[in-house]
Amino acid sequence: MNIRGLILFYIARKNCATLDEICNNLKINENTAKIALSRLAKEHYITRRWLRTPEGKRFRLYCISSTRLKEFNV
């Protein structure tokens, strides 16, 4: 399975994940993950949105799109 497939499967299992979670759990480079996530978002496999921690720090949350979730039967 390629990097995009691994990331997509990981997000599908969790429903949503941050970049840090994806990189740490899959042991992949952050830049590689960003490229794959960007392509997955452009192809409508995932959605992404900015959120803030209670301390005000911004982070991006990546979620499987609802139409793709049905394909995985997760």
The rounded distance, in Å, linking the Cα atoms of 35 and 53 is: 24
**pLDDT, tens digit (0-9, with 9 covering 90-100), for 17-46:** 999 999 999 999 999 999 999 999 999 999
- Let me know the angle formed at the C-alpha of 36 by 34 and 38, rounded to the nearest 5 degrees: 65
Res 70: pLDDT:
66
Supply the mean pLDDT for the chain: 91
Residue 71 confidence (pLDDT) above 70: no
pTM of the model: 0.86
Q: Which of 48, 47, 52 is nearest to 69 (CA)?
A: 47
Q: What is the pLDDT of residue 66?
A: 79
pLDDT at position 40 = 95
- Domains of the chain in sequence order: 3-72 (1.10.10.10)
